Each structure stands twice: as C-alpha cells, then as structure tokens.
Structure 1
Amino acid sequence: MENRVIQKGRGFSPLPIRDGLNATRARVGEDAAGISAWDFVWELISKQRHRHPEDNEGALRERFRAQEVILRDGTVLEPHTTLKLGQDVYFYRTPAPEIPVPFDIPIVFEDDYILIADKPPFMATMPRARHITETATVRLRRMTGNNALSPAHRLDRLTSGLLLFTKEQRFRGAYQTLFATREVSKTYLAVAPHAPFDTPLQWQSRMEKTHGEIQGRITEGDNNAVTNLMGVERLTGQEQAELEKIHGPQPPLARYTLQPSTGKTHQLRLHLWDAGVPILGDPVYPTILPEDQEDFAVPMHLVAKSFSFTDPFTGEFREFTSPRKR
C-alpha cells in the first residue's frame, strides 16, 4: 500500500473535489470490519438507490487502479485490503443521470470572500439522494471553476432566491456561524390566497419533522418555530392573470412578506398552511403530490428575497436583494 502525506483540517478529504463533486466518505462499522476494501465499496455502490448504469464492477476496478480508494490518512487501498472497525474510506461515486433543471443560477454579488447566487426553484442547494449534479453547489462550482465554493446556509429545493457561498474554506466557518446563530436578517416573499391579516403578526409553534417523511407537522409543546408576518399585499389583476395561466383559476391572491426568527424545515410553508393560506404551487402542503408529476413550468411561489448582516471580516453592514418578485 502507498501512503500519501495529507494535511488534515476541518472538513478535509484526502481526495480532492472533482468536477464540482466531493468524494464519498464511508465509515467501516461492526458489520463490515474484516471484509475486503473491494467488498465494502462494491456493496455501497451496488445498493445505491440512484445508480449510474455504467457504475459496475469494471468501473470499481478502475477506481482501485487509479488509486482513488483511500483511507483518511492517505493510505491507498488495494481490492484485497482488509478493513478495520472505524476506518474512513474515501472514493468517488458516479452520479446517476438527472433531468436538467432548465433554469440559470445568476450571480448577484461576488468579492474575495463570498459569492451570492439567485437560486431557481427545483434546484437543491447541496448534493443529496437523486439530486447530485443538478444542484446549486455543483452548478456554480462548474460554472466558476472554483471547487472550494460552499454554501453557508441552505434553501429548500423548491424555494428560490438568495444563497450565500464562501469562496475559500478558511472563510466558511465565519459565515456559517452568522446563519447558525441567527445574526442574518432574512425576508421572504410568498404568494398565497388573500386573507386580511392585521400585520405585523407573529406565528409561534412547535414544529417537528421525521426523517424520511415528506411533510412536517405542528405539534403540542414548547415553541421552536417563529415567523413574523410583516405585510400582505393583494396582487394586481395582471399578476393574478399571469399566475392563473400557470396554475389555473385561483381565489384572489396576495403577496406575503415574511421574516422568520428561526429556521425549522418547511417553517414558512407550514405556518402559511396552518394559517389557512397554503403557498401557491406547494406540492406538499396541504396535499403531497407524486414526485413523478413534478412540472418545471409550475413552481412553488416562495422566494428568499433579501438578507442583511454585518460582515465578519470587513465589519461592513451588507444587504442583498433578489430581483425575483414571486
């Protein structure tokens, strides 16, 4: 076995990002300790739910030949190498074919530290499950040539609007901390049936979401989700007509201005649904629509419209706005 000298830091991988994609890391558990590197990696590949048809034993053989199956410390694995409990094995997966998301992802702002993009609907923030290459992170890495781009926060796949990416790993933690500690003021716009709420209005709930289930839910218990409804504006007749061309006949619609104080999964979607005004185009609330019925021409109308913060490196107050209106 060859041993590569690897600089280990936070978030490092002994295999570099390639074509915008991170290498996979898999830890050897009790059920796999003592088996060969070939058997361990082949089981992971062969049991992928979303697997490229050409990712076969020949492709795995080529990975080993190219010395692209390695341990965290840089040790290059041979197919017959016996693995030990707790070892981390790194290798590249081959993404399955994906339906291209037919929208651009414009760059709104860029400096030495950050890049801010205007994410379209139907595009996930990070690679996950069946959405790998058609994600904002991979698209932007390939578009800019900067494999170090990393999102400081996330948006739901169906939500459009502003996403902040750090341009180098050394900047990542500071901006991620801003979002994690709620030091970023965020404003969203949603289109939903009109209701005459007196604003400003605050919705407080306890929200829970079980892994593997599509819908979240509002339950009894201490509040962990807070949304501030700042304004409700009836759409113009022209706006109503434009949306009815996409979604069919609708009740009178309005634009809701929302400022969340917390960031629970599907928080804004759940709060509007619970208030009796589900977001136009939402395929999960109130009714879960089959995934194979997804139509790129019929988006969900929730936009991460703007955010502001004090920059952790320059000390400047910074504010950014998406040109999207719905």
Structure 2
Amino acid sequence: MDASNQKSLTPLPYKHGVGPSYIWLPEGHWENALAFLSQQFPDVHPNVWRRRMEKLEVCDAQGHYLHAESQVKRGMCIYYYREIENEAAIPFQEKILFEDEHLLVVDKPHFLAVTPGGQYLRETLLVRLKASTGINHLTPLHRLDRETAGVILFSKQIQSRGAYQGLFQTREIEKSYHALAAHLPLQSFPHHKISRIEESDRFFVMHEVPGEANSETFISVLEPRGEIDLYHLQPRTGKKHQLRLHMASLGAPILNDQFYPVAQAMGSDDYSKPLRLLAKSIAFIDPFSLTKREFHSQQSL
C-alpha cells in the first residue's frame, strides 16, 4: 500500500517525491524480515531487499530499521520504498498554470500518468510535482487518463481538500474538452449524449449497457476540418473513459484511441500519435473566496 497520502507523518522520509509504501503482516510465521518480504514480493529478488535494508530503506512503524535477520510477527507494519527497475522516462513536461495556498493547477502532457501505478512511479505527474514543489500532501482532486492532456487540479492542504472535492461530487465544476475525430455528416450538433456506462469483462475497458443513464455529455463541433472535426465536449458526469466511449459510440472515435471502439494490443508508446483529447478548461466558484475561478490549458490540438 502507498503511504504517501497518509495524514500522519510516516517513519521514512520522501525521496524525490516518492513516499513510502507499507504492508501489514498477516497471520503466519516467518524466519525473519527477509523471508517475509521475499514471500510477499516474489518478483523482487532477495538481494534487492538486502540492499534496501543496508541503505536503511526498510523500517517498522516506530521507525526502527529492519535488517535481513530482524524478527517479524503478525500485526507489524513494515514501511519500504516501491521501486521500478528501468522505468521509462516520459519526454514531456508539465506546466504549473496557477498556485495559491489551497490549489495547484497544472497543464498535464500526454502519456504522463497522474498517480503511481503499474509500470509508472517516478514518471508520474504527482511524484514529479511533489519532488519539484516539496509539497508532500499534494493530492489530485480529479483524474485524467494517462493518454489525455490538459488542466488538472491538485489540493495542497488537507484542511481545505474536502471543500474542493465536494464541488466535483455536487457537479459544480464546469469542464470543457477538445477532441479530434471523424466528421459525422449524418449527425446533427449540438448533441446531448446520455447512456449507462459500466465496466466490461475486458481489462480496463468500459462499455455501454441498457438501463438508467449514468453518463451525460454535451457534444458540439467547434471547427470543421474536412474529414476530421475539432469537437467541443462538455461532460456533466465523470465516468471512466466517458468521452472516449461516447465519441466512439457515435461512430467517431477520438483519433489515436487505443481502447475504443476496439481495444488494441498494448505495446510501447508511440509519442508521435497521442490521443487527440485535451482537457481544455475548468471553471468553478471557489468555496473560500466565493469568486469564479477559470483555468485554460495552453496546449492545442
């Protein structure tokens, strides 16, 4: 588990924006700390754990450093740093658009995941920002797909975070996206798209099913470009992959989408073919100043 967003201080410090992860020991018996960690993480060679322990990068909840022969028992909590060998560098840079005591507003590039997961750790927006700003409590207030670029809000303070999160829960946030997709000569615009979106049995892919609608998007053509149009998308709900699925269901999947309408075999990223989807703007009434805030991406499609 990742301990980087815990409210209390963790016994291991942040390293280049990466907070420690932790694991609780379940019922069982192990000869020592090395035996437990090797069993729990079979993909990590025992010698790797030895090196981490020698560098004082593994400890218990009280901050006592653990070594290979340290005794462990049920109920202990072990802190350690998650590492990814040969993590690929993402050759695109984020840009801070705005900052005050509560918020950090960032223009995210394509291909950069927001939070750590899978094969991405240091090369994620959250870890990059923690390293560059020194704000360990930084937390994204909403999500953007790794493939999507544009404006995203981060909370800087635990105390005010709930007020901003509440704006998303009550749909008081106005979000606007731009997308490039095929021209649809038989479809009239603006179009109000509603449907029910649920997870499919295919990994990471959503699909539309019969039933009460739980997703809503207003779609219009911003600029005709021959066979390809620039679309303006305004989601009223925030279901996973909502915009990508709604455009695909109309017969105009967003350019370079690797999941819709048909999921492609995953390979290395082709940086010359980003998903042509951009979170262009976000607007809301600030819960503290009670003034309207509006932020725009400096990127374009």
Q: Structures share a fold, TM > 0.5?
A: yes
Which amino acid counterpart does residue 33 of structure 2 have in structure 1? A
Map of 1:224 onto structure 2: 214
- Provide the C-alpha distance between the structure 1 equivalents of 2:73 and 2:21, rounded to a whole number of angstroms: 17
**Structure 1: gaps of 5 or more residues:** 1-7, 49-55, 238-251
Q: Where does residue 41 of structure 1 map in the other structure?
A: 37
Q: RMSD between aligned alpha carbons?
A: 2.5
Counterpart secondary structure, 1:227: strand
- Summarize the Cα distance change of 1:66–1:325 in structure 2 as closer, same or farther, 3 Å threshold: closer
Determine the C-alpha separation between the residues in 2 that align with 1:94 and 1:10.
22
Residue equivalent to 2:178: 189
Q: For residue 75 of structure 1, report the CA deviation from its aligned partner.
A: 5.6
State the 1:162 CA deviation.
0.5
Structure 2 alignment gaps of length 5 or more: none
Question: Percent identity of the aligned residues?
Answer: 37
Give the AA of the match of 2:271. F
Q: 1:159 to 1:84 in 2, by over 3 A?
A: same
Match of 1:259 in 2: 234
**Which letter does structure 2 place at the counterpart of 1:263?**
G
SS in 2 for 1:228: strand
Per-residue deviation, 1:200:
3.4
Match of 2:87 in 1: 98
How far, CA to CA, are the matches of 2:201 and 2:38 in structure 1? 26
For 1:112 and 1:312, the matched residues in 2 are separated by 13
Per the alignment, residue 124 of structure 1 pairs with: 113
2:286 is the alignment partner of 1:311? yes
Instruction: Give, in angstroms, the shift of residue 11 of structure 1.
Output: 6.6
What are the equivalent positions in structure 2 for 1:63-212 lying under 5 Å apart? 63-65=52-54, 67-72=56-61, 74=63, 76-77=65-66, 79=68, 80-85=70-75, 87-196=76-185, 197-210=187-200
Aligned length: 294
Q: CA deviation at 1:78?
A: 5.1
Give the superposition deviation at 1:152.
1.4
CA distances 1:186-242 after superposition (whole Å, capped 9, x unpaired): 11111101124433322121111258703211112222212122x2134446xxxxx
Residues 14-45 of structure 1 deviation map (CA, whole Å, 9 limit, x = unaligned): 33322111211223344xx3334322222344
TM-score (normalizing by structure 1) = 0.81
In structure 1, distance between residues paired with 2:106 and 2:163: 19
User: Which residue of 1 is the match for residue 243 of structure 2?
Assistant: 268
The separation in 2 between residues aligned to 1:224 and 1:40, in whole angstroms, is: 44
Give the deviation of 1:161 after TM superposition.
0.3
2:20 maps to which of 14, 20, 23: 23
Deviation, structure 1 residue 126: 0.3
In structure 2, the CA distance between the partners of 1:94 and 1:187, relative to structure 1 (3 Å rule), is same
Normalising by structure 2, we get a TM-score of 0.87
How far did 1:266 drift?
0.6
Q: Please identify, of 66-75 and 252-261, the stretch whose mean Cα deviation from structure 2 is larger.
A: 66-75
Tell me if 1:287 matches 2:262: yes
State the shift of 1:9 in Å.
Answer: 6.4
Moved more, 272-281 or 182-191: 182-191
Partner AA of 2:147 in structure 1: L
1:291 match: secondary structure: coil
Give the conservation status (yes or no) of the 8 Å contact 1:146–1:167.
Answer: yes
Q: Is contact 2:34–2:46 with CA below 8 Å preserved after alignment?
A: no
> Is residue 96–residue 130 contact of structure 1 (8 Å, CA) maintained in 2?
no
1:9/1:44 Cα in 2 relative to 1: closer, same or farther (>3 Å)?
A: closer
SS at match of 1:43: helix
Amino acid at match of 1:169: I
Q: How far is 1:65 from its partner?
A: 4.4
1:52-71 correspondence to structure 2 within 5 Å: 56-65=45-54, 67-71=56-60
